[in-house]
């Protein structure tokens, strides 16, 4: 019995010396995150779609945790990424190709006293002007602004016919002019 115990301890000791004296394994290669799950597919209703999207195009979910987003615009300055409005949280978010989402600007559309929880007061439509400056349709402050290269905000429009703008949404730059035209955006209060 003692001999078996001694043999077992010797065997265990040998195993321990083999496994414990081995050099550490090299560090594992960095793990590349899996691609985002497909959130849907594109259904062709018009053959002209083939000119801008491949037949096997998929709709990918880039991020979650948002209630109501709008105004996506791709930017290159300041690091490439997709800016979009997180309206109820009054902020503009930035998604980057490495899959990270960060806060780009807060507040984005309302600078007054605290708004009720879930109020749609943040920015809405976003676009870039010819110089690459971000143009923001601000719901809560009821105006259209431009974010200058130095970070300052310039008000482009907050009144139409001397009356306050009601929640600007859509915008279009008039070709050849610096002024903005609004479709349904300039409803008078």
Which tens digits make up the pLDDT trace of 60-109?
Answer: 888 888 888 988 999 998 789 999 999 999 999 999 999 999 999 999 99
- Degrees (nearest 5) of the Cα angle 64, 146, 81? 35
In terms of pLDDT, which residue wins out, 129 or 160? 129
Query: Does residue 154 register a pLDDT over 90?
Result: yes
Most confident stretch, 65-74, 96-105, 117-126, 167-176: 96-105
Query: Does residue 183 register a pLDDT over 60?
Result: no
Can you tell me the distance from the alpha carbon of 164 to that of 187, in angstroms, rounded to the nearest whole number? 9
Neighbour order of strands in the sheet with 101-105: 69-75, 81-86, 91-95, 101-105
Query: Does residue 28 register a pLDDT over 70?
Result: no
pLDDT the model gives residue 179: 36
> Coil, helix or strand for 142?
coil
- At residue 189 the predicted structure's pLDDT band, cuts being 50, 70 and 90, is very low
Query: Does residue 139 register a pLDDT over 80?
Result: yes
What are the distances in angstroms from CA 109 to CA 26, 125, 144, 146?
A: 50, 10, 9, 12
Beta bridge partners of 166: 187
Query: Does residue 186 register a pLDDT over 70?
Result: no
Half-sphere exposure of 125 (CA within 13 A, CB side): 20
Structural tokens at position 189: 């209060």
- Degrees (nearest 5) of the Cα angle 114, 117, 118? 120
Q: Give the pLDDT mean for 162-176.
A: 51
Nearest in space to 172 (alpha carbons), one of 128, 133, 141: 128
Comparing 51-55, 69-73, 144-148, 177-181, which segment has the lowest mean pLDDT? 177-181
Nearest in space to 170 (alpha carbons), one of 110, 124, 134, 120: 124
Query: Does residue 1 register a pLDDT over 50?
Result: no
- At residue 181 the predicted structure's pLDDT band, cuts being 50, 70 and 90, is very low
Task: Kindly report the backbone phi and psi dihedral angles of residue 155, in degrees, each rounded to the nearest multiple of 5, phi listed first.
Answer: -80, 120
Alpha carbon dihedral 5, 10, 16, 22, in 10-degree steps, equals -170
Prior bond of 107 cis (ω within 30°): yes
Name the average pLDDT for the chain. Answer: 73
Q: What domains are defined for the chain? A: 66-188 (2.120.10.30)
Structural tokens at position 148: 């200058």
pLDDT the model gives residue 29: 57
């Amino acid at each position: 019995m003692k001999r078996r115990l001694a043999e077992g301890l010797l065997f265990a000791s040998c195993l321990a010396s083999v496994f414990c004296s081995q050099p550490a394994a090299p560090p594992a290669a960095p793990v590349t995150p899996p691609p985002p799950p497909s959130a849907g597919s594109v259904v062709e209703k018009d053959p002209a779609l083939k000119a801008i999207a491949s037949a096997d195009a998929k709709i990918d979910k880039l991020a979650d945790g948002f209630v109501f987003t709008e105004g996506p615009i791709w930017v290159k300055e300041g690091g490439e990424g997709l800016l979009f409005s997180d309206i109820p949280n009054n902020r503009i978010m930035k998604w980057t190709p490495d899959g990270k989402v960060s806060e780009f600007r807060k507040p984005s559309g309302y600078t007054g006293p605290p708004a009720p929880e879930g109020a749609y007061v943040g920015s809405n439509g976003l676009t870039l002007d010819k110089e690459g400056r971000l143009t923001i349709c601000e719901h809560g402050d009821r105006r259209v602004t431009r974010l200058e290269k130095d970070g300052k905000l310039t008000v482009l429009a907050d009144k139409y016919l001397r009356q306050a703008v009601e929640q600007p949404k859509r915008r279009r730059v008039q070709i050849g002019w610096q002024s903005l035209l609004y479709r349904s955006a300039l409803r008078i209060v």
